[in-house]
């Protein structure tokens, strides 16, 4: 089964280097002879991949082995007398990533365009499953024994089809009107599951998203304005808003002991409307002010599917969420140059997101002993929606002072203040005295200050560069308590106290005229505040990037370039596994690491007057390391080992490698036509154990207790994927 999919590349994978390296160069030569006449071109050909490329073909529409059509075009016509342009461009028209655009424009007066693009996303895994009803809103899971369903291999993926139309009209000098409408259809299937359970499911996708923008743009000598309306509508075409998942031969009720039927919620219809006004004013030739004003209202008021599921909905709860979020954005900026050596910048940004959704209780369970007054301490079973509002103020200040010899010193500061609502549910009798809707720590205020300094040099013939240092500190108010004791010991990564130091170095060096070298180094270090009362979460982290890029012109006909980059990210995380009573049964110490190395070298040049050849080599390696251990914390653990014993040691590394070698050759058959030949060798390897057991056998979804819930789905991928591409194209240019 070949998956539905699409993507909007500007050039096909095969012909990108052709048009860039050869076709465009020749087009420029012809355009130089007659610059008043626009250049047009048509490219057509065939290409063949020898083997499947499930990992590298996720987005390019050429995942499977076989022959593909290669068809691109660029047609431009201009009426010099009226200043009217007519253009037609097409990319990847023979692939599942096709893109087509037509535009009519009378310069400075009126214009319109229409474009279409397709974007695929093919899942690289193969699923062996007995799940039935894939693509619909009723799934049937395989039972065991006499209730087992036949297994088959399936492939998943999605496709987006986007149609975009636009209109432009100049109303009076300096005042333009623009109208834009987008319609995106998305369909396909996506890998899914239910909460933390090992139950395989497939999400059906069939949705429509529409965008409308209308705005007026004014440009005067001092004042510039842009204002209008933006609307967004999302519609899920799959009713009734949830997926009904049943077990073949199992209990068909949503309630009672041995439940084997459950619902998975789908996104509900929603819409958003925004009015905006952006502008700038030149007070003097050295001072300019800018502003941005936006007000957005987003709503979601579709009938809730939980009301239609016996045993899941709560009697008397609202029939719809009646969701409403109102967002206000105000941004002011000022840039000035008080003296010829000094420039200053100041920005103020205020963002207020108010969740006006009414709070209500929607979901319950009827299992014995589970009631909505929260008397069962360890199994809270009733769920309220918890509206959250955020108010954020950002201030940015920066000054640049020009020093002798082309140097500049830059100093700046950023200040962020955020007020956050803390979720509240119904009154509860939990021992923590907390509300039964808080399962993770919250804090009502978060503050972060950043200070930065930079020294840079520009306008030098041989050396240009910059070095910068940033220091930031984040903290906030006290944490609100949760309804679970172990959760009160967590430092959430996005709001926890943190210090960050970051260095940046960039250098552009031209030691001799044909040679250019660029260096870049970035180093960031994070340290999180840890206390005895709150020991769990991230403790520190780091990110380092080194890169070098060089190009050398051997002569007028031959050039060579090479690059290398290395990035390394590390994080130390301390966590726990709790027992039912809330005490820590085991603690996990993880020192995670992700390292990426990439290298490339390429060359291209002319052989004689009609032939251009080139080669490009790329090598990429990504390594994920998991030197983590799980150690028994103390008495009361459910692990059958002694206190202090390590029960899980470091996990194996996961390494992914990609090697790609490209060759191309073009031959100018005549002045305005050429042939292009491409060869690509591509090899991807992995030792990813994510879907494997320790003995190397495929991981199996167990679902629940047989025979009512068997599942048995496995997920596999080929650890080595090698494929070769051979393509030929004919490129014709005309005016």
Strand spans (E) along 194-341: 200-219, 223-236, 242-247, 262-265, 270-282, 287-300, 323-336
Share of the chain above pLDDT 90, in %: 64
Alpha-carbon 250 to chain mean position = 39
Share of the chain above pLDDT 70, in %: 83
pLDDT of residue 545: 98
pLDDT of residue 10: 31
Among the listed residues 26, 22, 4, 13, the one whose alpha carbon sits nearest the alpha carbon of residue 70? 13
Residue 662 has pLDDT above 60, yes or no: yes
Better-predicted residue by pLDDT, 653 or 646: 653
Better-predicted residue by pLDDT, 562 or 585: 562
Kindly report the average pLDDT of the chain as a whole number.
85
Quick: pLDDT tens for 199-229: 889 999 999 999 999 999 999 999 999 999 9
Is 325 within 8 Å of 357 (Cβ atoms)? yes
Q: How confident is the model at residue 28 (pLDDT cuts 50, 70, 90)?
A: very low
Is 485 within 8 Å of 581 (Cβ atoms)? no
- What is d(CA 730, CA 669) in angstroms, rounded to the nearest whole number? 10
pLDDT of residue 377: 37
What predicted TM-score, i.e. pTM, was given to this entire model?
0.87
Average pLDDT (306-314) is 70
pLDDT of residue 185: 98
- 146-160, 379-393, 719-733: which has the minimum mean pLDDT? 379-393
Among the listed residues 493, 410, 497, 408, the one whose alpha carbon sits nearest the alpha carbon of residue 449? 497
Provide the Cα torsion 190, 191, 195, 201; round to 10°: 100
Better-predicted residue by pLDDT, 25 or 57: 57
pLDDT of residue 75: 97
Quick: pLDDT tens for 507-544: 999 999 899 999 999 999 999 998 888 888 999 999 99
Q: How confident is the model at residue 373 (pLDDT cuts 50, 70, 90)?
A: very low
Q: How confident is the model at residue 365 (pLDDT cuts 50, 70, 90)?
A: low
Residue 571 has pLDDT above 70, yes or no: yes
Reduce the DSSP state of residue 131 to 3 states and report it.
coil
Is 643 within 8 Å of 634 (Cβ atoms)? yes
Residue 345 has pLDDT above 90, yes or no: yes
- What is d(CA 675, CA 611) in angstroms, rounded to the nearest whole number? 10
- What is d(CA 257, CA 705) in angstroms, rounded to the nearest whole number? 12
Quick: pLDDT tens for 593-632: 999 999 999 999 999 889 999 999 999 999 999 888 777 6
Among the listed residues 261, 255, 246, 262, the one whose alpha carbon sits nearest the alpha carbon of residue 366? 255
Residue 253 has pLDDT above 70, yes or no: no
pLDDT of residue 13: 36
Query: For residue 734, what are its two tokens?
Result: 């005309």
Residue 141 has pLDDT above 50, yes or no: yes
Alpha-carbon 631 to chain mean position = 35
Domain boundaries, the chain: 367-553
Q: How confident is the model at residue 716 (pLDDT cuts 50, 70, 90)?
A: very high
- 106-115, 387-396, 622-631: which has the minimum mean pLDDT? 622-631
Residue 110 has pLDDT above 80, yes or no: yes
Q: How confident is the model at residue 463 (pLDDT cuts 50, 70, 90)?
A: very high
- Which residues, in sequence order, are bridge partners of residue 161? 118, 185
Residue 370 has pLDDT above 50, yes or no: no
Count of C-beta atoms within a 10 Å radius of residue 44: 16
Per this entry, what is the length of the chain? 735
């Amino acid at each position: 089964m070949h998956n539905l999919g699409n993507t909007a590349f500007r050039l096909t994978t095969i012909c990108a280097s052709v048009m860039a390296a050869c076709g465009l160069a020749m087009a420029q030569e012809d355009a130089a002879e007659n610059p008043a006449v626009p250049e047009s071109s048509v490219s057509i050909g065939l290409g063949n991949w020898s083997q499947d490329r499930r990992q590298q073909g996720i987005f390019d529409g050429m995942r499977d082995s076989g022959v593909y059509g290669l068809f691109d075009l660029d047609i431009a016509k201009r009426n010099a007398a009226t200043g009217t342009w007519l253009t037609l461009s097409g990319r990847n028209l023979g692939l599942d990533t096709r893109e087509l655009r037509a535009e009519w424009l009378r310069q400075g007066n009126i214009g319109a365009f229409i474009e279409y693009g397709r974007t695929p996303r093919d899942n690289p895994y193969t699923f062996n499953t007995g799940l039935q009803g894939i693509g619909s809103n009723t799934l049937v899971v395989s039972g065991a024994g006499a209730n087992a369903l036949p297994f088959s291999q399936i492939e998943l993926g999605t496709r987006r089809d986007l149609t975009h139309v636009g209109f432009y009209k100049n109303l009076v000098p300096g005042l333009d009107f623009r109208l834009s409408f987008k319609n995106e259809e998305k369909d396909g299937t996506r890998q899914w599951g239910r909460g933390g359970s090992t139950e395989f499911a497939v999400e059906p996708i069939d949705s429509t998203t529409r965008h409308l923008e209308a705005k007026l743009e004014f440009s005067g000598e001092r004042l510039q304005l842009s204002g209008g309306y933006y609307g967004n509508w999302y519609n899920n075409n799959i009713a009734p808003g949830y997926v009904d998942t049943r077990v073949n031969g199992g209990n068909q009720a949503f309630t009672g002991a041995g439940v084997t039927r459950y619902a998975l919620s789908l996104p509900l219809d929603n819409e958003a409307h925004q009015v905006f006004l952006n502008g700038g004013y030149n007070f003097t030739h050295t001072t300019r002010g800018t502003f941005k004003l936006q007000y957005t209202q987003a709503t979601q008021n579709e009938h809730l599917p939980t009301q239609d599921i016996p045993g899941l909905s709560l009697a008397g709860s609202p029939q719809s969420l009646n969701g409403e979020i109102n967002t206000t954005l105000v941004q002011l900026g000022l840039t000035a140059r008080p003296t010829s050596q000094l420039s200053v910048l100041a920005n103020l940004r205020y963002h207020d997101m108010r969740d006006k959704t009414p709070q209500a209780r929607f979901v319950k369970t009827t299992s014995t002993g589970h009631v909505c007054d929260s008397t069962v301490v360890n199994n809270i079973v009733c769920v309220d929606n918890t509206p959250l509002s955020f108010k954020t103020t950002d201030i940015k200040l920066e000054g640049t002072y020009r020093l002798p010899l082309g140097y500049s010193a830059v100093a700046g500061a950023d200040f962020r203040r955020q007020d956050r609502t803390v979720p509240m549910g119904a009154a509860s009798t939990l021992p923590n005295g907390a509300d039964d809707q808080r399962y993770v720590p919250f804090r009502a205020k978060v503050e972060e200050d950043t200070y930065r300094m930079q020294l840079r040099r520009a306008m030098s013939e041989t050396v240009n560069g910059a070095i910068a240092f940033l220091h930031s500190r984040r903290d906030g108010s006290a944490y609100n308590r949760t309804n679970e004791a172990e959760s009160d010991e967590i430092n959430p990564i996005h709001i926890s106290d943190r210090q960050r130091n970051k260095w940046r170095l960039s250098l552009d060096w031209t030691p001799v005229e044909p040679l250019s070298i660029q260096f870049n180094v970035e180093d960031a270090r994070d340290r999180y505040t840890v206390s005895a009362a709150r020991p769990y979460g991230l403790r520190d982290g780091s990110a380092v990037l080194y890169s070098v890029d060089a190009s050398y012109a051997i002569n007028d006909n031959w050039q060579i370039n090479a690059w290398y980059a290395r990035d390394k990210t590390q994080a130390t995380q301390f966590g726990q596994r709790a027992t039912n009573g809330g005490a820590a049964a085991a603690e996990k110490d993880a020192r995670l690491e992700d390292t990426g190395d990439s290298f490339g070298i390429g060359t291209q040049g002319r052989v004689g007057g009609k032939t251009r050849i080139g080669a490009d080599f790329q090598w990429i390696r990504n390594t994920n390391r998991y030197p983590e251990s799980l150690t028994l914390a103390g008495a009361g653990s459910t692990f059958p080992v002694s206190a202090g014993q390590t029960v899980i040691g470091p996990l194996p590394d996961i390494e992914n490698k990609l090697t790609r070698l490209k060759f191309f050759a073009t031959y100018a058959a005549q002045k305005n036509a050429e042939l292009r030949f491409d060869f690509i060798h591509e090899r991807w390897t992995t030792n990813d154990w994510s879907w494997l057991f320790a003995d190397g056998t495929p991981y199996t979804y167990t679902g629940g207790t047989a025979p009512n819930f068997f599942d048995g789905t496995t997920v596999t991928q080929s650890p080595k994927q090698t494929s070769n591409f051979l393509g030929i194209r004919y490129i014709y240019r005309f005016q």
